[in-house]
Structure 1
């Protein structure tokens, strides 16, 4: 591992982001958690600092990843606090559902702003430092929605397909600069996003929460939800020094739903 061992994880206050942060701390990274909810970030900071033996520290920065000025300020503050950024995990995201004919322009733009524009803005912010050091990792948490279509979430699917396209383009552009760019594509994972999806199914169909979860799990050949730690393990693998030849890839973590 290089001397620069500072990782930024957006959407780090819970779920997949928190699991990734925990794993990176175990691997010796200092981690900055970024997100919009300061109280949630601080609670996660306290939990990680107390529960993980680490050589690094845990910092927090509030940010709206779709706001260019806010992203610039947050990354400058993170660098001042914990040093040069060696790794960026673009995990922040939102998912909202609607039939295409009921998808408003506002919903469409929100899905693109948070999921795609946020990934672009945050990635752009770390490139100068990584390029100067000729070393870096950018890992985008996309979704199986980057690899296939799903009904009633057209805006989300379009945004995640965009994230994968951006991943591949950046990987080629940065291949000779010591920076790798990859995407991790989880299927339905036990997170707040899935909890919200379950509640929408319950409210719209009258099914029980158990039936709704079973419906979401049915697309996974293993018949279960992916766990956040399983996604985190894929990120940790891509972060390893001996993964330096892996770039431009989409790693599906989905029990065989996509292959």
Structure 2
């Protein structure tokens, strides 16, 4: 059990997790539910959200929305409140990564990376904060990336967006510091998710390397020589949502086996 949490420590709390249908988002949803929270799973595709929710309809609720669209976010939060009440915990996990050399990074790709990764974080946080202010308690955890703390070649738009998420985290944390709301980011390194599997496939297609060789390339970025598991990221989120992390705000916590140290 993580320090600062006990079973049921989030009982009565309503947590909303964006990008909750797979990977890190699904792991976060499950671990928060295990702590007693009622969890709204939000994502663009309803089917994977419903598959998770079907396992425990009393604990999970699925709602479809594009986090980059303000009207959809407003509607989704209204539906979530109708099901589980005011939002106490928001995990901004929805994200997308696309690579391209800088000179072939189109304005459309740039805007898409900013919209999903950064604007979505803005819109969902604005939607959740009034509930938190009313309660005098809240947790916002933004799933950024080590790309929000360092630079990586061929993903300039993604890096810029995730750096923006870290900057937003720090600014908002200061703005709400006296309200009982904390705002933090977790910054995973290469993590065993569908997004990484897609990246491995791209390397195989472009370079002719085997899948094992491509996988080893990503794992080599981690000093521990392995890929981060979604449950490890989720455990960091769980701690940040607990009472023991009440003094932790404005932080960007790297979950990457020592790849980033600062």
Q: Which TM-score band (shorter chain)? A: over 0.9
Partner of 1:20: 28
Which of 36, 39, 53 does residue 45 from structure 1 map onto?
53
Q: 1:46 deviation in Å?
A: 2.1
Q: 1:57 deviation in Å?
A: 1.3
Q: 1:2 deviation in Å?
A: 7.0
- Structural mapping, 1:1-259, within 5 Å: 1=9, 4-47=12-55, 49=56, 57-259=59-261
Match of 1:28, SS?
A: coil
> How far apart, in 2, do the equivalents of 1:17 and 1:3 lie?
19
Q: Contact 2:11/2:36 (CA < 8 Å) preserved in 1?
A: no
> How far apart, in 2, do the equivalents of 1:167 and 1:209 lie?
36
Q: Contact 1:145/1:157 (CA < 8 Å) preserved in 2?
A: yes
Higher-helix-fraction structure? 1
Match of 1:177, SS?
A: coil
Q: Give the number of equivalent residue pairs.
A: 253
Query: Which segments of structure 1 move beyond 4 Å, counting only runs of 4 or more?
Result: 1-4
Q: 1:3 deviation in Å?
A: 6.9
C-alpha change, 1:3 and 1:40, in structure 2 (3 Å) is: closer
**Higher mean C-alpha deviation, range 91-100 or range 56-65:** 56-65
Match of 1:113, SS?
A: helix
Q: Contact 2:10/2:242 (CA < 8 Å) preserved in 1?
A: no
> How far apart, in 2, do the equivalents of 1:18 and 1:4 lie?
20
> How far apart, in 1, do the equivalents of 2:11 and 2:179 lie?
18
> How far apart, in 1, do the equivalents of 2:36 and 2:47 lie?
25
In the alignment, structure 1 segments of 5+ residues that lack a partner are 51-55
RMSD between aligned alpha carbons?
1.1
In the alignment, structure 2 segments of 5+ residues that lack a partner are 1-8
Q: Contact 1:4/1:83 (CA < 8 Å) preserved in 2?
A: no
User: Deviation string for 1:130-154 (max 9, x for gaps)?
Assistant: 1111100000000000100000000
Partner of 1:53: none
TM-score by length of structure 1 reads 0.96
Q: Contact 1:4/1:85 (CA < 8 Å) preserved in 2?
A: no
Q: Contact 2:152/2:159 (CA < 8 Å) preserved in 1?
A: yes
C-alpha change, 1:2 and 1:194, in structure 2 (3 Å) is: closer
User: Deviation string for 1:99-129 (max 9, x for gaps)?
Assistant: 0001111000000000000000000001111
